[in-house]
Amino acid sequence: MKIAVTGATGTIGKMLVQELWGSDHERYQLLLFSRNLDQAKKIYHNLGISAGAIGIQDEHLQFEKWIPGDHYHLFHALNRFSPDVVIHLMGENIAEGSWKTAKKQAILRSRVDSGIELYRAIKSLTKRPSLFVQASAIGIYANGTACDICEENERECRSNSSNGNGATGSGSGPSFLAYVVRSWEEATAELERLGVKRVIARFAPVLSMDGGFLVKLVPYFKWCLGVVLGPEKGGLSWIHHQDAVSALIYLIEHKELPGGIYNFTSPKPTTNAYFFQTLAKRLHRPLWPFTFNFCLKLLMGQKGRELIMTDKRVIPQKLLDLGFIFKYPTIEQAIVDLIKRKEKSV
Ligand SMILES: NC(=O)c1ccc[n+]([C@@H]2O[C@H](COP(=O)([O-])OP(=O)(O)OC[C@H]3O[C@@H](n4cnc5c(N)ncnc54)[C@H](OP(=O)(O)O)[C@@H]3O)[C@@H](O)[C@H]2O)c1
């Protein structure tokens, strides 16, 4: 199976490629897109994944440079490789840096422009892929909804919610993230009209010790500075990286499954308080009984409100209905496993 991946050097991309490569690298031929080829090759070389090094033929692992805007290059690379599946993960990192105007533009444009360009390139291919998987985020859902949010009941949940404010950042005006996610998803919508099955993977924060917010939090807890971030009773949706990657491969491998929106979250969302209590307990560190939410809102502004002050319980109903089994459904299982992995790696 030929799989092209954009954003392949990111947290999810690296884990996905490692899993595909490790499970059966004779089965998959991979084309990895990056804006910086040397850096991408180095990243994969350091992970022990490089075509020549272990005698695997080059056709199983190829790298291509693609900077959005270079439509010509993208089209030719895809035409030459002729992928069965395209997985689109690229996008300016949302959590790094402050949300000044230029950063917000980059967050939006890197996703929307690349999506439109991929659509155009795929439209022009002689042989189109049968599946297009596009990363998305649960940032599209409203905070504080009255019920658990599934793929099908989002609208209903929102209208029954106490604040009824739609996808807003804690009642603080229209959410930038919801706008980004909506535009991001719309950018590739036309692929469906071309007969390409499109899966939208709405990721919750992915728990991993190789990247993402857990990596940033753990040192504070180790220095005994752990506190609850976000509203204590607020719902926290998350997914273990192994489940995120396994679910992606499940959808790639089961061609008969329907396209559309999939929530990539654990089936058991927790609360902010319980998440931080579990983290402190498993790291054998204290959790101080106060919060810095007011300061965070003040210091981080919109970014703090939209990324940290969240309250949403999102359920991966479609994956569950289709029989996908989560290896780490509870936050205890996920945190215990991630800490073990970290200890093994040092
Ligand atoms: N990880 C999570 O918890 C999470 C949760 C919800 C949604 N998502 C979404 O899922 C996707 C993959 O997540 P991730 O955590 O793997 O992302 P990531 O670690 O931030 O990596 C994304 C990749 O996109 C490329 N990129 C970065 N800035 C770019 C820009 N301005 N223009 C074009 N390409 C750019 C980079 O690849 P090169 O430098 O090699 O080009 C980077 O490796 C992202 O779109 C993210 O928003 C992730």
The string of pLDDT tens digits covering residues 149-205 is 999 887 777 766 654 444 444 433 469 999 999 999 999 999 999 999 999 999 999
3-state secondary structure of 92: coil
Residue nearest to atom 45 of ligand 1 (CA): 91
Residue 301 has pLDDT above 90, yes or no: no
Strand order in the sheet with 29-34: 61-65, 29-34, 2-6, 85-88, 131-137, 197-203, 260-264
> What would the mean pLDDT of 105-133 be, rounded to a whole number?
97
**What does the mean pLDDT of the chain come to?**
90
Residues with CB under 6 A from ligand 1: 7, 9-13, 34-36, 40, 68, 89-94, 106, 110, 135, 137, 203, 205-206, 211-212
Is 130:84 a contact under the CB 8 Å cutoff?
yes
Burial (Cβ within 10 Å: 0-12, 13-18, ≥19) of residue 329: middle
Q: Does the residue 141 lie in any domain? A: yes
Least confident of 13-22, 138-147, 198-207: 138-147
Burial (Cβ within 10 Å: 0-12, 13-18, ≥19) of residue 44: buried
Is 291:232 a contact under the CB 8 Å cutoff?
yes
The alpha carbon of 126 is separated from its chain's Cα centroid by a whole number of angstroms, namely 30
Q: Ligand 1 centroid to 126 CA: how many Å?
A: 29
Q: Does the residue 116 lie in any domain? A: yes
Between CA 143 and CA 21 the distance in angstroms is 38
Q: At what angle do helices 101-124 and 176-187 cross, to 10 degrees?
A: 10
DSSP-derived pairing of the beta strands 227-228 and 29-34: unpaired
Best residue for ligand 1 mutational test, from 16, 17, 35, 303 (most atoms within 8 Å of Cβ): 35
What pLDDT sits at residue 109?
97
Q: Does the residue 256 lie in any domain? A: yes
**Positive or negative, the Cα torsion across 244, 146, 156, 189?**
negative
Q: Does the residue 96 lie in any domain? A: yes
Q: Ligand 1 centroid to 13 CA: how many Å?
A: 8
Q: Does the residue 340 lie in any domain? A: no
Residue 7 has pLDDT above 60, yes or no: yes
Is 254:332 a contact under the CB 8 Å cutoff?
no
Which atom of ligand 1 lies at the shortest distance from residue 106's CA? 31
Up-side HSE of residue 61: CA atoms within 13 Å toward CB?
23
Q: Does the residue 182 lie in any domain? A: yes
What pLDDT sits at residue 56?
53
The structural domain count of the chain equals 1
Is 279:215 a contact under the CB 8 Å cutoff?
no
DSSP-derived pairing of the beta strands 29-34 and 61-65: parallel
DSSP-derived pairing of the beta strands 2-6 and 85-88: parallel
Residue 46: partners with Cβ closer than 8 Å, 6 or more residues away:
none
Between CA 265 and CA 230 the distance in angstroms is 19
Residue nearest to atom 30 of ligand 1 (CA): 92
Between CA 280 and CA 278 the distance in angstroms is 5
Which atom of ligand 1 lies at the shortest distance from residue 9's CA? 43
For residue 203, what are the domain limits? 2-208+237-266+313-328
Residues 83-113: tens digit of each pLDDT: 999 999 999 999 999 999 999 999 999 999 9
What pLDDT sits at residue 110?
97
What pLDDT sits at residue 304?
83
Least confident of 25-29, 226-230, 240-244, 265-269: 25-29
> What would the mean pLDDT of 137-142 be, rounded to a whole number?
93
Q: What is the pTM of this model?
A: 0.94
What pLDDT sits at residue 57?
53
What pLDDT sits at residue 160?
63
Residue 54 has pLDDT above 90, yes or no: no
Q: Does the residue 271 lie in any domain? A: no
Residue 292 has pLDDT above 90, yes or no: no
Q: Ligand 1 centroid to 165 CA: how many Å?
A: 28
What pLDDT sits at residue 168?
46
What pLDDT sits at residue 66?
96
What pLDDT sits at residue 22?
87
Q: Does the residue 221 lie in any domain? A: no
Q: Give the CATH number of the domain where residue 16 resides.
A: 3.40.50.720
Torsion of CA 150, 156, 159, 161, to 10 degrees: -50
Is 238:331 a contact under the CB 8 Å cutoff?
yes
What pLDDT sits at residue 174?
67
Residue 50 has pLDDT above 90, yes or no: no
